[in-house]
Amino acid sequence: MYYKVVYYLFIAYILLGRSCTCKKIPAIIVFGDSSVDAGNNNYISTILKSNFEPYGCDFDGRKPTGRFSNGKLPTDFISQALGIKSLIPAYLDPKCNITDFATGVSFASAGTGYDNATSDLFSVIPLWKELEYYKEFQRDLRSYLGHEKANQVLSEAIYIISVGTNDFLEKYSVLSKWTSEYSVENYEQYLLSIAENFIAKLYKLGARKIAVAGLPPMGCLPLERTKNFMFGSGCVEEQNNLVKDFNEKLKASVAMLKHNLVGIKLVLSDTYDILWNIIHNPDSFGFADVRKACCGTGLFEIGYMCDKLNIFTCWDPNNHVFWDALHTTEKTNRIVADDLIKNYLSEFL
């Protein structure tokens, strides 16, 4: 008798559990640059790659996947935390098909930007092309799940857009100094109009829960600090101010779009503050080194410069905020993901 009660309680528990999971997020769909590229660049002809050691040294099986880190990306941690899957696959990975992509996929490409000129520079996938791939994915999803079910997945999925840093980094390295205040404003407006257009197009295609990422404190990236060595290798304030200004404007764009696009849930997911906190209080997050990255000397190496023969590469990535001169370690990525879920993505759940 007692046995039976426990059994029915158990069944009830399972059923209740199920009824909750019906509301669960069905998929995470990702656009952007190396901050969220799960390995698409492995399959295109570009020098911006990371599918070799020591990249991925803390990944399951010490596997370099094309993620620009020693392990997982924030989007992987988000997917895992939402109970979807532990890794978001790259769309161009020939080992994956619609069965894998149906619960989440990344169209991102390291080195890309809002601006076509940015992606052209390293022959990577431009943002407009990422959207074309997404349309192809939609067609595949509809033939895989049927129209109705596919449309439901597409409208309930979380969409993450993380791009823009390369536009500013490259403009900085090409121009070293902006020609005038006016040109900065102009360029920002240009990028914002592309961002707004992109979000509106996604909405038209059926997306409803969209998080667009603000820019990180770019002036604190090891590469930018190294360029600042004449001035003590601190964060480049000028760049951080530019980023803050851009993030404010992006916030205004988000407010405008929320007003105009009926039924959209749109958030500006800001990583600036959490990264700023980590960079300025590394101890309290368990980091010893915030200025130098792990790979190589930690001052300037990215991509092929981070090869496994580089004797300077650190042994303790968990002590470093940055993995290479432009990208964060897995440990940082996990902290960023937790912050994003708590402060921004909770709106979608």
Ligand X SMILES: *[C@@H]1O[C@H](CO)[C@@H](O)[C@H](O)[C@H]1NC(C)=O
Which residues of the shown chain bind ligand X in the complex (CB under 6 A)?
97-99, 116, 128, 144, 194
Which residue in 34, 86, 59 sits closest to 324, CA to CA? 34
Nearer Cβ to ligand X (143/281): 143
Would you call 324 a catalytic residue per the annotation?
Answer: yes
Task: State both tokens at 79.
Answer: 């997917």
Q: What is the DSSP letter of 115?
A: S
69, 79, 327, 339: which one is catalytic?
Answer: 327
Query: Can you tell me which residue has the tokens 């890794």?
Result: 87
Which residue in 248, 302, 295 sits closest to 273, CA to CA? 248
Nearer Cβ to ligand X (99/179): 99
Tell whether omega for the bond before 54 is within 30 degrees of 0, i.e. cis: yes
Burial class, 52, CB count within 10 angstroms (exposed 0-12 / middle 13-18 / buried 19+): middle
Rounded to a whole number of angstroms, the minimum distance from the CB of residue 147 to ligand X is: 16
Nearer Cβ to ligand X (125/221): 125
Rounded to a whole number of angstroms, the minimum distance from the CB of residue 84 to ligand X is: 18
Nearer Cβ to ligand X (57/84): 84
Helix H, strand E, coil C: the string for 253-312 is HHHHHHHHCCCCEEEEECCHHHHHHHHHCHHHHCCCECCCCCCCCCCCCCHHHHCCCCCC
Would you call 106 a catalytic residue per the annotation?
Answer: no
**C-alpha 175: how far from chain center:** 26
Overall residue count recorded for the chain in this entry: 349
Contact 81, 337 (CB under 8 A): yes
Nearer Cβ to ligand X (116/277): 116
Rounded to a whole number of angstroms, the minimum distance from the CB of residue 116 to ligand X is: 4
Reduced to 3 states (helix: H, G, I; strand: E, B; else coil), residue 322 is strand
33, 34, 109, 269: which one is catalytic?
Answer: 34
Query: Can you tell me which residue has the tokens 């601006």?
Result: 115
CA 256-262-266 angle, to 5 degrees, is 55
Nearer Cβ to ligand X (173/193): 193
* 279, 121, 104, 293: CA torsion to nearest 10: -30
Active site residues: 34, 324, 327
